[in-house]
Chain A
């Protein structure tokens, strides 16, 4: 199946820094593609080039086999990381204004319902909370009934409840067969929403594939987490690898029984023990040695 978007050898050079360094990937239709990485990894620059609002130094992006142009602008829905809207306009007026910029699209009432904006339709844009504004920006991105939807860190700054509501919205949109490109530095979000992820660091793609496959390829163990105050011994004397992570201690092992015995033999309480599978954050640390949210 022909990719919806093809990214080839993208380079973006700013004075003194190469923000994007030879990035290439394809996005097949109907999936949610996650572009992950810490702040400054180059993911927003990459996405802005893909959206056609920033020019690359070299390389190119194709939409359905064509250079980005009028067709792309008509069929793409974009939610930027930060967008200010016009003052003194209501939510409905803003959606109507953007809807009229496209020759084809969704009914505005349909967008209002999909994004749960009904209670806000008459509210001035300036009086929206962070979560409400994000829902409106998503609504704006949907007014043209886009074939491909770009979401650049859409849940940054939202509280957990608003974030989960937003995830439900994205899943509903994905269920309609839209292609979604999502950038985030929340690994839980990427794991929950994305069919394929590409991890960026220092302007390059360092891993790409379905999250479960990537984790399987790189890990065959699980992590035992304990409060640091409960561990109480020198990590070097413990027979398994121990990582001190803030106020927690993480023990990596493929043999949970062996690890539990080692803990109990040393009188370490396991009342607060938590066993978790490896996640994308672990993968990023494994690949780069850097924290994702730096």
Chain B
């Protein structure tokens, strides 16, 4: 790969992006406005329902026949698999769940002593007619909705920037004949692809850092982890979604078709990757499906860093998944890339 040629296309693409004022403003203002609006609207208020995790014996229904407490009205009981115990305890620590009960053997439960709703849920449990359960206290400050939402909105903004900023642009270049013109120069497809990917990576991550910094000045939010690790996670996530977009755009000539396919990819990610709400309590199959999305991997890793102070070892599987998906997307894009309409 010739670095000089790659940098020529990279810098031209950067200028094109930075001078497109309307797109640039939208990229910065939209996530800022969303986070501030949600912070104002929800103001860190706790959620209205009791949310209670239950480790039940295999095949057991979550109702009063298993334990009288499960017959309590206005409480949302959701099943927790044994393998998910550690993650479920973390939700109690974060006040995202009010209680966690293990009914597989001798009953025991986890409650956050600092949580008002946890306190009430515990009262209800103890007053129910079931066997006395062993208390397992945990501690932790409440996670405000804005703490939880901020990575989601930044991630969503990155997703749209990566998917439309590369896929749509490459298809437009192809349709207009600009790619055909480049194909008549010494530029290779690898150099062109690298320029587009690196340009968008730099711009998207820069905009995200800018928005994150601006939000840090505007509203208080939690980041218990390493900034550097968060930046690495953002870069790997962006790289993965840019590669996905480049794969989608490798052949298309129609901007409308590309737009449709990118929407088809982005909407499920926006709904199922946990941008707006947690999938805890959602059907297990849905949570498994959500794991295939790059945005899910990036957001889970980012929230682990920001909310739990997770280190590299804790999020390594998610970072590895992003790297693996990036390699697959780029491989397919490289094999199917076309300079000109077929």
Instruction: Give the A-binding residues of B (Cβ under 8 A).
Output: 4-5, 7-9, 11-13, 15-16, 19-20, 176-178, 180-187, 339-340
Instruction: Given A80-B180, A88-B15, check contact A101 B185 (CB 8 Å).
Output: yes
Task: Choose the segment among A70-78, A168-176, A252-260 that binds chain B (4+ C-beta atoms closer than 8 Å).
Answer: A70-78
List 21 A–B pairs whose Cβ atoms lie within 8 Å, in order of A's numbering.
A51-B184, A53-B184, A78-B181, A80-B184, A82-B177, A83-B177, A83-B178, A84-B176, A84-B178, A86-B13, A88-B16, A88-B20, A89-B15, A97-B8, A97-B9, A97-B11, A100-B7, A101-B5, A101-B185, A101-B186, A102-B186
A93 touches B (CB below 8 Å): yes
Complex CA distance for A140 and B5, rounded to whole angstroms: 15
**A202 to B16 alpha-carbon distance, docked (Å):** 42
Instruction: Given A97-B12, A100-B8, check contact A86 B19 (CB 8 Å).
Output: no
Residues in A whose Cβ lies below 8 Å from that of B180 = 53, 80, 83
**Chain A interface, >50% SS class:** loop
Q: Is the CB of A87 within 8 A of B8?
A: no
State how many angstroms separate the Cβ of B169 from the closest Cβ of chain A: 10
Cα-based distance from A156 to B176 in the complex (angstroms): 18
Q: Which residue of A is nearest B17, CB measured?
A: A88
- Chain A residue numbers with a CB within 8 Å of B8 are 96-98, 100-101
**A84-B177, A97-B8 given as contacts; is B184 within 8 A of A78 (CB)?**
yes
Give chain A's interface residue range (CB within 8 Å of chain B): 20 to 34
Asked whether A100 and B181 contact (CB < 8 A) given A53-B340, A87-B20, the answer is no
A277 within 8 A of B: no
Q: Which residues of the other chain, B, contact A84 by a CB distance below 8 angstroms?
A: 176-178
> In whole angstroms, how far apart are the Cα atoms of A101 and B187 in the complex?
7
Chain B residue with minimal CB distance to A143?
Answer: B185
Complex contacts, A273 vs chain B, CB 8 Å: none
Given contacts A70-B186, A100-B8, 17 further A-B contacts (CB under 8 A): A53-B183, A53-B339, A73-B184, A73-B186, A80-B184, A88-B16, A89-B12, A93-B12, A97-B12, A98-B185, A100-B4, A101-B8, A101-B9, A101-B186, A101-B187, A103-B4, A140-B181
